[in-house]
Amino acid sequence: MFEKTSSTNDVIEKLAHDGVKEGVVVFAEAQTKGRGRLGRKWISPARKGLWFSVLLRPDLRPQEATQLTVASATALARAIKAETGLSPEIKWPNDILIGGKKVAGILTEMSAELDRVKQIILGIGVDVNLTAAEFPPELRKQATSLRIETGKPVSRPDLAARILSELDRDYARICDGKFEALADEWEAGCATIGREVTIQIGGRRVRGTAEALDEDGALLLRTEHGHLERISGGDVTLEK
């Protein structure tokens, strides 16, 4: 546990380099260089959220790593629901939304050989007790916190414990080859399936209907031209 660090993902990366075992978790009360997906900044004010990272060394092929992304989103949504009574939705691959606004996100950083994952760092950020004024103005329309949604402060230690135990359970399911059951739960809680979406993948933009998840957790998109395309990463905008 750190009072302040640059990014908990960086701390874990150093520990991983030094050879620590999987399962290590690092929390920080504040991050000065919190990172989001796609090079975005992640604001991490002191004692307002849960900012933490977990080191995993799963026995998976690199293309199966999306399974872990799906598992962590499912675990996170389940934990938030259990602790707050709110009804979170998942936006593929791993944003957690409440009432259409983002409340938590996961940054998955992987290092792999050609056919085997070496390590995965799961960086989890949950906006727990921020007030609206504590979000930068440009984020206020699209981001929220558990406190804003429930109308009262939420216990960070209780939520942290619940997230870690749910994550532990879903990680075991993946390691036991039981991804299918997890994928069904993910699809049921997912705001993306059945929706018209636009996906930005690097410099390319595709539009279509999100139809399903495949067995590795990739999104199957029926494009506006009628093809079925398999998407394993990108930035999704939900249309309509």
Residues binding ligand BTN (CB under 6 A): 7-9, 31, 34-37, 40, 42, 44, 51-53, 95, 105-107, 123-125
8-state DSSP, 190: B
Q: How far is the CB of 150 from ligand BTN (least distance, A)?
A: 21
> 37 or 162: whose CB is closer to ligand BTN?
37
Q: How far is the CB of 8 from ligand BTN (least distance, A)?
A: 4
> 102 or 222: whose CB is closer to ligand BTN?
102
Using CB positions, name the residue nearest to ligand BTN.
105
Alpha helices in the chain, H assignment, sequence order: 8-17, 66-84, 146-150, 156-175, 179-188
Q: CA 150 → CA 10, 87, 146, 181, distances in Å?
A: 32, 11, 6, 30
In the block, tokens 């009628």 appear at 226
> 124 or 148: whose CB is closer to ligand BTN?
124
| Nearest to 119, CA basis, from 160, 169, 70, 65 | 65
Q: How far is the CB of 225 from ligand BTN (least distance, A)?
A: 29
Q: How far is the CB of 3 from ligand BTN (least distance, A)?
A: 15
The answer for residues whose C-beta is within 8 angstroms of residue 152's C-beta and 6 or more apart is none
User: How many Cα atoms occupy the beta-carbon half-sphere of 187 within 13 Å?
Assistant: 18
Q: How far is the CB of 105 from ligand BTN (least distance, A)?
A: 2
> 55 or 114: whose CB is closer to ligand BTN?
55
> 105 or 189: whose CB is closer to ligand BTN?
105
Alpha-carbon gap, residue 191 to 189, rounded angstroms: 7
Return the amino acid letter for 78: R
Q: How far is the CB of 104 from ligand BTN (least distance, A)?
A: 8
> 42 or 186: whose CB is closer to ligand BTN?
42
Q: Report the Cα 42 to chain-centroid distance in Å.
A: 13
